[in-house]
Amino acid sequence: MKRPDLTKLNVLYVLGLLLAVGGCNSVFLLEGNLIYGGILVFFGGLVLVWWSGTETFNKILALVLPGVIFMSVYTITRDDRVREPAVWLIPVGYTGPLYVFLEEKCGEAERREGEKRVYDLDPSGRMGSRFKANPGVIVTPSEFYYTDSTGYRVHLQDLRTYGDSTRLNPVWRDSTGQPVFAYTGEAVKGRIGETKVILEYAFVGTYRDYLDFVRTSPLPDSLDPVLEPLVLGLRAGCD
């Protein structure tokens, strides 16, 4: 009996299917702009499947299978934890970025008000804390206050997100004139040598202040030269 002829078209189909599955599910491994590479691989795999000349059923399978595997992996790996809200205490009059470095051995001891964490920032808008990393889904939003040396607080109610458009950010709506732009994703992770760095950050100021800031100092999606000296300063003298 004559053996089946494994033609290049069959090889193209198998290769295309593997690329489609791998490209679709690469989003779980890639970060930043590399995700676009995974998307290109996915569509490249579909093109190879189409060129393979295989039957219509197999083409449909190559289109559906990556999505089925993607949803299965997502269901297994998704994070159902709830993010703990925090009370951010900001020195009165401060404008600029707010940095809270978590899991710092020599950071401030954990402090809570009810179920909320308390982040009591120094005059430069930063703080080292012993609190653990805080990933998860936001259910209860954080609160932001200006506070003075007596402990008096002014609630900053005009809370926005970094993605808001200028149309959604008109002139000040609260008495202090200082809306807060809050980062609402997972804590940013990076390393200094072998030491892990976990960061939460926000920004307090007007929308114009925020725009001026991001033009000169883009908000960090990884540990960068701007943040490294801040961490080293917090850790100075820590055994």
Same-domain check for residues 72 and 126:
no
220 and 128, same domain (yes or no): yes
Radius of gyration in angstroms for the set of CA atoms belonging to the chain, rounded to a whole number? 24
Question: pLDDT value at position 145?
Answer: 92
Angle at 219 between CA 213 and CA 221, to 5 degrees: 170
Residues 88, 120: one domain? yes
Assess whether 64 and 95 both reside in one domain.
no
Total of domains in the chain? 2
- Give a yes or no: residue 1 inside a domain: no
- Of 34, 51, 77, the one marking the end of a domain is 77
Residue 89 reports pLDDT greater than 90? yes
Report how far residue 66's alpha carbon sits from residue 64's, in angstroms, rounded to the nearest whole number: 6
Q: What is the pLDDT of residue 52?
A: 80
Domain contains 12: yes
Residue at 67 is within a domain: yes
In terms of residue numbers, what domain contains 46? 8-77
CA distance 162 to 168: 11
pLDDT grade for 148, boundaries at 50, 70 and 90: very high
- What would the two tokens of residue 221 be? 């999606």
Give the domain-ending residue among 77, 101, 125: 77
Q: What is the pLDDT of residues 3-61, one digit of tens each?
A: 434 444 577 888 888 888 888 777 666 655 677 788 888 888 888 888 887 888 888 88
The answer to whether 97 and 71 have CB atoms below 8 angstroms apart is no
Structure confidence at residue 87 (pLDDT): 93
33 shares its domain with 50: yes
Q: Are residue 112 and residue 36 in the same domain, yes or no?
A: no
Of the listed ranges 24-28, 69-73, 120-124, 224-228, the one predicted with least confidence: 224-228
Asked if 143 and 231 sit in the same domain, the reply is yes
Query: Does the model's pTM come out above 0.85?
Result: no
Q: Token digits for 205?
A: 């100021």
Pair 172, 230 in one domain: yes
CA 177 vs. chain centroid, Å, equals 27
Q: Are the C-beta atoms of 93 and 146 separated by less than 8 Å?
A: yes
73 and 86 assigned to the same domain = no
Q: Average per-residue pLDDT in the chain?
A: 75
- pLDDT digit string (tens) for 211-232? 777 777 655 555 556 667 777 7
Both 73 and 95 in one domain: the answer is no
Decide if 160 is inside a domain: yes
Task: Clarify whether residues 45 and 130 are in a common domain.
Answer: no
In the listed set 77, 97, 129, which residue is the last one of a domain according to the structure? 77
Q: What is the pLDDT of residue 195?
A: 62
Kindly state whether residue 2 falls inside one of the protein's structural domains. Answer: no
Check whether residue 30 and residue 132 sit in a common domain: no
